[in-house]
Each structure stands twice: as C-alpha cells, then as structure tokens.
C-alpha cells in the first residue's frame, strides 16, 4: 500500500511513499500529513472468518490487508506485546452496561489508557525500522495526558530512539503526570510547558516541519519522527479494535453478523474516531459514528454546522483533560478522504491562517451522513458516572461523555451502541470520587483508596507504585524554550 499527502505534493517530495517511510517521516508537503492512497476492503466473509479469532490473529490479518512493508517477524513481536495486558487472550474486553450499550475497554495495558493499544506495537515497529536502516531517531510526542505515558513506556531503553515528550504543566491528572516525570531511562526527556495541549501540539508540528531544527539534528546524524496520531503508525493499530469490538458483540450474541452498530467515541485529537471511520470505510457494518466531546466542543460545532471556528476559542480546563483540545489533527484525514487534497489544503491553510473555515452545504451533508456529535459538561459527566456506578459500572470522565452522546445522538434505539472507554478509573480518581460521594480530594492517592474500597476493586500495582517513585524529570519551561531544551537533551 502507498501513502499520499493530504494537502497535495509540493514537487520536492515523492508523490507516494511506503508505510515504513510514512511512520518515520509523518509530515508532508504544505504542512500536511500522510493518508492511505486507498483503503483495503473486507466483507462479511472476512468477519465470519475471524468470528473466533483472538486479538493478535485479527490484528495480523488487518495489517496484511494494508500490505505494510514490515517484516512478519517484527509484526509478530510487536503484536506479542499485547500478551502483557491484563488478559493476554482478550486485551480489549467489551462489557455490557445497558441492554443496547456496550463499552469497549481500551485501557488494560501498562499505562492504563487506550494509547497503549497503538503505541505498544508501534514503538516496536518504528524502532525496528530505524535499526534496520542504521538510523537514529528523535521521536517527538505532545500529550494531553495519555499519549505521553504510553509513548515513554513503549520507547524507553529502545536502541536508535530518543524521545522528547511535551505536556501542559497543570493540564493533566496527578497520575498521568507521575507516569511521565518518574520515567528515568536515559533516552527519554519529559518537558512540561506553560500552556495548554494545543500549544504543545503546535510546537511539535512546528519542529517537525522546521528546516533549521532538522539541520541541527542532521549535524548529529539524527532523524525526526513523531508519536502523536499525526503518525499513521498510530492510526493503523487504532483501526483494529473497532473491528474486534464488533466481533465481540457477535460472540456475545448481542448482534448477528451483518447487523449495524453505532460507534460512540470520546474525541480530542480525533485519532480514535478516525480509526472507527476507516473500519467503516473498509466494510465494518456501522450505522453512524457518534463523537463525544467535553466543553471544548469545537468538534460538536463542526459536525453540526460545518464551521471549524477557533477565532475566539481558548481551551477550557475540564474534568476530562485528555480531551481539552481545540485543533484536532485527524480531522484533516477525514477532509482528505471525503474531499481530496486540493480542498483539504484550502481548508487547512484557512484554519492555520484565519483560525476558521466552513464547509459547503453539500460537504456538510457528507460529514453528517456518517458523524453525529454532542458534548458533555463536567456536571453531566459526574452524573453519568454516578448513575453508571449504581448500575454496576465504574468509568472515567472521558468515557462518561459517551453516555451523553448515547442519550442524544441515536436516531434508532433498536441499534446497539459500542462506546469506547479510553482510560481506567485510576487515572482520574478525584473526579470519580467527587461524582460518587460529593467529597473533594486534594490528592489522587486518597481518592484512589476511597474508590477502591467503595467499588471493591484493586488499585493496579503500576498505579499504586507511582506514589513511591522518585521524580526524575523536573523540566518546566515556556514554549519558546522547547527547541533549545530538546537540543540540549540530545547534546
């Protein structure tokens, strides 16, 4: 399979590249990114063939459809990392909450968040390609709280790879911050910045396309890549669990093979939703994809009105901080798939320059044919957490936003909904404790212990151990200092 540029070709780059080239250099002409030239397609016969396949078998079959230029031995080793999840036979449990609502739990990996589903195998694949080429790589990551810990975990102590991870100081949960700042591998650098996630992501994209920064890296024989979902190496693995979740409903006799479902995705940077969109385009029987946002509801407005408007917008800190994002990178791949490179370039440059673009009526109709959206306030989220807990289900505030979209976005209540839980309750325990008891907890540790007792669930060892680990990464700087700080780290 070949990959092409979302904003067209500038004449300086190849017109198409391979998967391995796309993951090593994810940014393309005119500030764009890479997308598949075409998507593979499967029918019900493929789903029937994998009706009883384990996750790794399904994943390998999906990767084979994409014809990735990665050695089979590397793919096998990358997928074997799912064996370290809570249940090696089923790393993504799908749990019934209500008769027509099932939750796909994506957080059973080492950092207790859905980013492990993609970054665990992706880290092995990228580092293997770098080693095979004899290259050294700097991997940049910008995080709103989950990408950072997952990227650091997958790349730590890997050969030929160094990682610089940017996070908004004060913009993550305590557990998320501790997962990053207690990492002490010599190839990792964690940098807190005074700003929000959009500042971190903008800095990352700026460095990825900066000729002067790249020249400085080249002096040290270091190439540049990214662990964020601008990198298609992330997206390809995020497509798989949507197919798996559908098959889980078939296995649980909740649906029959071929029945339509709703996919309900909490969305910040739109990578999770994009994986669902690609699964739908490839042949998964999906009625519609529902996008759940928090009070940073730019995506809701976009899907309802066709306007992407950042002119008077600023990030609102919420109880679901991993979604405190305004500029969602993977919307670009949706625009490209629907409207082509020329129109995508026009729209994205308007957003870059004017902080605004608007779809035509016909374009909006095409978006709304597959997407619907709503947003959930902090208080609504706490209410959904409490009600779900009373029904026997414990969930994080990001998952709670899906329950709002479940209530408001469906137009056919006979169709089952698969909602995606992106983080374990341990990552946001003060919010959940407040939702369940009305009590405020200053420290995550106290909230964790209270919930553990109330819900009769154990705190995972990798979370409990964080509070006794030494802080190894203490850098917090202004965003203007990021480049120099990274170069000093590479030093």
pLDDT value for 393: 98
pLDDT, residue 268, reads 87
Residue 263's pLDDT is what? 98
Cα-based angle 27, 32, 34 (whole degrees, multiple of 5): 65
Among 160, 148, 152, smallest CA distance to 185 is for: 152
pLDDT tens-place string over residues 265-321: 999 899 999 999 999 999 999 999 999 999 999 999 999 999 999 999 999 999 999
Helix 55-66 with 72-79: angle, nearest 10 deg: 140
CB-CB contact of 161 with 23 (8 Å): no
The dihedral sign for the CA sequence 243, 245, 248, 250: negative
The 3-state DSSP composition of the chain as helix, strand, coil percent (nearest 5) reads 50, 15, 35
Give the closest residue to 192 by CA, choosing from 177, 202, 210: 177
CA-wise closest residue to 261 among 101, 385, 118: 101
DSSP letters for 89-115: T-SS-EEEEETTEEEEE---STTSBTH
Q: Is the dihedral of CA 408, 409, 410, 416 positive or negative?
A: negative
pLDDT of residue 271: 96
Number of CB atoms found within 10 A of residue 54's CB: 14
The 10s digit of each residue's pLDDT in 44-54 is 999 999 999 99
- pLDDT attached to residue 30: 96
What is the model's pLDDT at position 139?
96
- Report the run of H or E that residue 139 belongs to, with start and end: strand 136-142
Taking only the tens place, the pLDDT of each residue in 430-485 is: 999 999 999 999 889 999 999 999 999 999 999 999 999 999 999 999 999 999 99
User: Which token pair is 28?
Assistant: 């393309």
Best CA proximity match to 296, nearest among 273, 276, 316: 316
The per-residue b/e assignment along 400-420, b for 16 or more CB within 10 angstroms, e otherwise, is bbbbbbbeebbeeeebbbbbb
Residues of the chain with pLDDT under 50: none
Q: How many CB atoms lie within 10 A of CB 250?
A: 17
Domain 75-112+233-467 indexed as CATH 3.40.50.620: no
Look at the alpha carbons of 285, 288, 289, 290 in this order and tell me if their dihedral is positive or negative. negative
Letter string b/e over residues 154-193, b meaning 16 or more CB atoms within 10 A of that residue's CB: bbbebebbbbbbbbbbebbbbbbbbbbbbbeeebbbbbbb
Q: Provide the percentage of residues in the chain whose pLDDT is more than 90.
A: 98
Alpha-carbon distance of 191 to 201, in angstroms, equals: 13
Whether the Cβ atoms of residue 415 and residue 100 lie closer than 8 Å to each other? yes
DSSP 471: P
Contact between 313 and 325 (Cβ < 8 Å): no
Give helix 211-219 / helix 482-490 axis angle, nearest 10°. 10
- By C-alpha distance, which of 103, 227, 208 is closest to 165? 227
- Residue in the block written with tokens 């992407």: 308
Which residue's entry shows tokens 């308007």?
A: 350
Please give the DSSP secondary-structure letter assigned to residue 265: E
CA geometry: angle 141, 142, 147, nearest 5 deg: 75
Question: According to the model, what pLDDT value does residue 364 have?
Answer: 98
């Amino acid at each position: 399979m070949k990959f092409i540029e979302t904003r067209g070709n500038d004449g300086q780059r190849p017109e198409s590249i391979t998967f391995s080239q796309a993951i090593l250099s994810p940014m393309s002409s005119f500030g764009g990114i890479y997308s598949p030239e075409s998507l593979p397609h499967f029918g019900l016969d493929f789903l029937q063939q994998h009706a009883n396949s384990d996750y790794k078998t399904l994943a390998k079959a999906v990767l084979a459809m994409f014809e990735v230029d990665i050695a089979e031995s590397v793919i096998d080793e990358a997928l074997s990392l799912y064996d370290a999840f809570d249940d090696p036979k089923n790393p993504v449990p799908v749990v019934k909450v209500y008769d027509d609502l099932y939750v796909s739990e994506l957080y059973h990996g080492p950092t207790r968040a859905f980013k492990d589903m993609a970054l665990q195998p992706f880290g092995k694949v990228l580092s293997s390609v770098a080693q095979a080429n004899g290259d050294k790589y700097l991997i940049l990551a910008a995080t709103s709280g989950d990408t950072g810990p997952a990227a650091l975990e997958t790349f730590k102590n890997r050969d030929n790879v160094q990682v610089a991870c940017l996070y908004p100081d004060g913009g993550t949960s305590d557990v998320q911050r501790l997962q990053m700042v207690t990492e002490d591998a010599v190839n990792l650098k964690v940098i807190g910045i005074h700003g929000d996630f959009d500042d971190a992501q903008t800095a990352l994209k700026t460095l990825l396309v900066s000729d002067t920064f790249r020249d400085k890296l080249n002096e040290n024989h270091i190439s540049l890549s990214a662990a964020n979902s601008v990198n298609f190496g992330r997206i390809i693995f995020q497509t798989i669990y949507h197919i798996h979740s559908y098959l889980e409903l078939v296995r649980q006799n909740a649906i029959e093979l071929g029945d339509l479902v709703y996919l309900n995705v909490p969305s910040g940077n739109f990578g999770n939703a994009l994986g669902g969109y690609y699964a739908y385009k490839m042949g998964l029987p999906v009625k519609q994809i529902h996008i759940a946002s928090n009070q940073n509801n730019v995506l809701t407005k976009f899907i309802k009105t066709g306007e992407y408007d950042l002119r008077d917008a600023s990030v609102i800190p919420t109880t679901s901080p991993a979604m405190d994002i305004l500029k969602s990178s993977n919307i670009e791949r949706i625009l490209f798939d629907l409207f082509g490179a020329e129109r995508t370039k026009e729209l994205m440059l308007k957003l870059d320059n004017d902080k605004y673009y608007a779809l035509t009526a016909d374009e909006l109709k095409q978006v709304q044919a597959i997407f619907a959206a709503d947003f959930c306030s902090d208080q609504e989220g706490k209410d959904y957490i409490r009600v779900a807990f009373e029904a026997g289900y414990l969930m994080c505030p990001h998952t709670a936003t899906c329950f709002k979209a479940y209530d408001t976005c469906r137009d056919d209540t006979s169709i089952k909904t698969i909602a995606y839980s992106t983080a374990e309750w341990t990552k946001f325990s003060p919010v959940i404790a407040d939702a369940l008891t009305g009590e405020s907890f200053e420290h995550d540790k106290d909230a964790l212990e209270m919930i553990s007792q109330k819900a009769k669930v154990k705190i995972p060892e990798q979370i409990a151990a964080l509070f006794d680990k030494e802080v190894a990464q203490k850098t917090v700087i202004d965003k203007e200092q990021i480049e120099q700080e990274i170069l000093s780290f590479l030093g």
